[in-house]
Structure 1
Amino acid sequence: MAQQRGVNSLQFNQDQSCFCCSMETGVRIYNVEPLMEKGHLDHEQVGSVALCSMLHRSNLLAVVGGGVNPRFSDISVLVWDDARESRDPKDKLVLEFTFTKPVLAVCMRRDKIIIVLKNKIYVYSFPDNPVKLFEFDTRDNPKGLCDLCPSLEKQLLVFPGHKCGSLQLVDLSNTKPGTSSAPFTINAHQSEIACVALNQPGSVAASASRKGTLIRLFDTTTRDKLVELRRGTDPATLYCINFSHDSSFLCASSDKGTVHIFALKDTKLNRRSASVPDLLFMTALTSTQLW
């Protein structure tokens, strides 16, 4: 039977210079500029893959099995060293984290790996001799929503809070390992969180609810709301929101078949909405139809 070639998920690396495609045929890694394939893990090595996370431009990849024909369980995170010379794929497997429930997301920085389950988030030291540092209970998080700041100056983690529509912010550098620190809470929306994102320095958090009409930006230090961005007036399912590397732009994709791009620094580029005069709303400078 011919293998399906579907893409199960996409994920950029920390500086957005590469992205991983988790596919039914394995993993493909692409350089962004110029756009070209950088590496791959074949189906014979890893089977079909649900998630793949790349550590900057290094040879370390975190892989979670899934899809139609997985070789590995969806309750395990396998860390591969793709630079190891070996004919046996198992020789490239350097770390394994196994849980009792499916892994929904994996985030990495140079000193930590974060693994997201439906109701738990685990933080481990990484990559040498991993030790569990923190464990956070969460509200039901079926999409594995979580983002991690890659900056050396700020070790910020954001994920949905216990209260509907809230965000939790945790500064991992100010939390004592082995203890359960109370994260800072932002009451971001009235309905369930659909997307979260941090900018590169970790100074701004963005979120959207399941309603999908507004994206809200918050200062991660003061937790004040900075601005609201209007995607549209009709409800939509947002798939992803993301900042550009320099935080000048934010993009959002949805089930409407469009990608909206908002200018955050030069806000004159955005179209203003006067529907609610006491709040600042900005609509996208461009909306690109996906074909």
Structure 2
Amino acid sequence: MDPMQEEYFVQFNQDCTSLVAGSSNGYHLFALTPDDGVEEIYASRSGQDTCLVDRLFSSSLVAIVTLSAPRKLIVCHYKKGTEICNYSYSNTILAVKLNRSRLVVCLEESLHIHNIRDMKILHTIRDTPPNPRGICALSPCADRCLLAYPGSAAQGEVQIFDAVHLNASCVISAHEAPIAALAWSQCGKRLATASERGTVIRVFSVPERTRLFELRRGMKRCVAISCLAFSACGLWLAAASNTETVHVFRLQESEEPTSAPTDDAPDTASWSGWLSSVAAAGAGLLPSVGAVLAQGRARAAARLPAPAPRVQCAITAATGKSPRLVVATSAGDLYMFALDPVEGGDCTLLRTHSLLPRDNTAQEASPGPGASYALALSGRPKDLTDSLRDREIGAALEGSPPRGSFDLRDPRHFPPMRTADTGDH
């Protein structure tokens, strides 16, 4: 395959400080730097076509699925080059989600919940509605460890499952059409949803199931929304689709309350009052009029040079800078946009990076994690004992930030730092 035409699996980590890219030659880890740059911190060079890969925050724990073994999940310590464990499932693995408490494996009609500390299976949700695209979302917050997945294949229902107490929490009737995308806020209290129509995005509070925001992406055409992403502060929500435009919404109620007229009649003297009266008068005949007027529009938008089959986005922030909208595509490109928090409008493209493989003789000369990973796929002499596996998991988790809030403004956390002795952290 021509490397310039290769498609990548791209995924940001849970706090959007780094991203992974799976390719036909293994997988790559990249760190986002304060100067709007991207630094490759690791390349596996395993020669295996990696179709799914996810990194746990800034730790050394990586979960991998390959095309040659699509039913097997491999958990590795990438810095040490060791395979911690692997699990085989009854069907193709469609998605893998991690936080500091749980690891979730999504199959088409089941979900498997593991304890992140020893990788043992705690619970299996069986006979879920058909979910061929592996749509699910695990809250990044371990204290509110909630799992969301489609509750119906015909309607836009979302099932919320408590992954700590291992019981169903609630069901949200989010849309009329089937669910296409889900995303949790960093605090795990808000859930964003989109349907297959791709015109309206809704944000709910959980477990109250209260609809907080209704956001309209567009009215002219239906699109396939592939990614929803909250900012760490929860003020912004980005939506990426199969088009060339990424929309950004501001999640904040109006600071100035609308002043009501002194009497019961609507104030039709003003333009807004006239619109309100029209909406009220037509509510019985056209129920959608009031809803359309109440829907929020995108505060900002970023336009890519061309649409891509798969797009992932994230909103980051650094001290003294405006928020950044970061967009990664399956074509292997990464775009850095500046988001104006006051004016909004079109986001300014700051830098473009290529995630295509780069030669690195130092990494290729030593066996490193890539060789160990390739050996793991061909079979190991013996499995790790439970105690050794637990120690390996503990060592892999050492690089993860402590439980609690993750401050992107802290230079010790954003981005991962590099030292001469250990390579990267």
Range of TM-score over shorter length? 0.7 to 0.9
Structure 2, unpaired ranges of 5+: 256-271, 280-287, 306-425
Q: How do 1:88-237 and structure 2 match up within 5 A?
A: 92-128=82-118, 130-137=119-126, 138-162=128-152, 164-175=155-166, 181-233=167-219, 234-237=221-224
Q: Name 2:80's counterpart in structure 1.
A: 84
The structure with the largest alpha-carbon Rg is 2
CA deviation profile, 1:191-247 (whole Å, cap 9, x unmatched): 111000000011100110000000011111211111111000121111111111111
SS at 1:153 equivalent: helix
Q: Name 2:323's counterpart in structure 1.
A: none
Structure 1, unpaired ranges of 5+: 67-71, 86-91, 176-180
Q: TM-score, normalised by structure 1?
A: 0.86
Q: Structure 1 CA distance, aligned partners of 2:65 and 2:173? A: 32
Compared CA separation, residues 208 and 278, structure 1 to 2 (3 A): closer
How far off is 1:3 after superposition? 5.6
Match of 1:37 among 36, 40, 60: 40
How far off is 1:119 after superposition? 0.7
| Aligned sequence identity (%) | 29
How far off is 1:108 after superposition? 1.0
Q: Name 2:235's counterpart in structure 1.
A: 248
Residue 26 (structure 1) aligned with residue 13 (structure 2): no
1:133 aligned partner, one-letter code: L
Aligned residue pairs total: 269
Compared CA separation, residues 15 and 277, structure 1 to 2 (3 A): same
Compared CA separation, residues 118 and 266, structure 1 to 2 (3 A): same
How far off is 1:5 after superposition? 6.1
Q: Structure 2 CA distance, aligned partners of 1:4 and 1:60? A: 29
How far off is 1:2 after superposition? 5.8
8 Å contact from structure 1 (residues 248, 266) kept in 2: no
Q: Name 2:49's counterpart in structure 1.
A: 48
How far off is 1:42 after superposition? 1.1
How far off is 1:4 after superposition? 6.8
Mean Cα displacement is larger for which, 27-36 or 198-207? Answer: 27-36
Q: Structure 2 CA distance, aligned partners of 1:160 and 1:240? A: 15
8 Å contact from structure 1 (residues 23, 49) kept in 2: yes
What is the root-mean-square deviation of aligned Cα atoms in Å? Answer: 2.2
8 Å contact from structure 1 (residues 239, 255) kept in 2: yes
CA deviation profile, 1:19-60 (whole Å, cap 9, x unmatched): 11111221111112342112121143xx11111010111111
Indicate the structure with greater helix content.
2
Q: TM-score, normalised by structure 2?
A: 0.60
